[in-house]
Amino acid sequence: MNLTKEVTQVLLSAQSVDSPVRKHAEDSLKQLHDQTLHTSSYHFLKYLLEKHLKDELVQRWFSFDVAVKSQIKLYMLQTLFSAASEARSAASQVIAKVAGIELPQKQWPELIGFLLSNIHMVTPHAKQACLETFGYLYEEVVPNVIDDDQVNKMLEAVVQCMNSNEVTEVQLSAIRALNNVLGFAQANFSNDVDRSLL
C-alpha cells in the first residue's frame, strides 16, 4: 500500500466511532509521524494531513444550515468587541478562516464592509481586532477574491489608523496590517497588469 492510501485509510479510521479502531488509527498516525520525521516523506505526510483536515472542515462548514452559519458568524464578529484580548485575537483568526472558505464562493460579502466601518467607529481594542483580522485575511484568502475597491478602502483605513491621534497599540496594529493589505493591493495590481496585456 502506498503512503497516500495508507494515510487516507488511517485518517478515515481515526474518525471511527468504534473506540478500538480509532485508538489503533491514532497509534498508527503517531508511528507514521515518528518514522517519517527525519525524511522528506515527513513534509509530504504533514501536507497530506493538513490538506485532509482542511478539506474535511470545509465540507463540514458547508453542510451547516445557512441560519446556523449566520449565527456563528454574528457571534464571531461580536467577539471582536470583547474586553478579553485573547477572545478578540481568536475571533480574528476564526473570522479569517471562515472568510477563506466563504469569500471565494461569493459568500459573506458584507465582511470587509463590517470591518471597515468598525475601524472608524469603535474603541481602540476593537480597532486593533479589526486590523488584526485584515492580517489574518491575507493568510487565508486568495488576494484576487477581494476586489480593488475594497482593498483600497482597507489600505486607506489602515493608513488612517497609523495617525498620531490613535493610541500606540492601534498604530502598531495598523503598521502590522499595512504589510498584509499591501500584499492584497500588489496581487490585484499584478492581475490588472496581466489582464491589460492580454
pTM: 0.69
Q: What percent of the chain has pLDDT over 90?
A: 32
Same-domain check for residues 137 and 161: yes
For the stretch 187-196, pLDDT in tens is 656 655 455 5
Closest CA relative to residue 187, chosen from 159, 155, 161: 155
CATH number at residue 86: 1.25.40
Instruction: Specify whether the backbone of 108 is left (phi greater than 0), alpha (psi in -120 to 50) or beta.
Output: left
Please check whether residues 59 and 71 belong to one and the same domain. no
CA angle (101, 173, 192) in 5-degree steps: 50
Residues 107 and 191 in one domain: yes
Same domain? 129 vs 186: yes
- Domain range for 101 is 66-197
List pLDDT tens digits, range 140-179. Answer: 888 788 888 898 899 999 999 988 788 888 898 899 888 8
pLDDT at residue 184 tops 60: yes
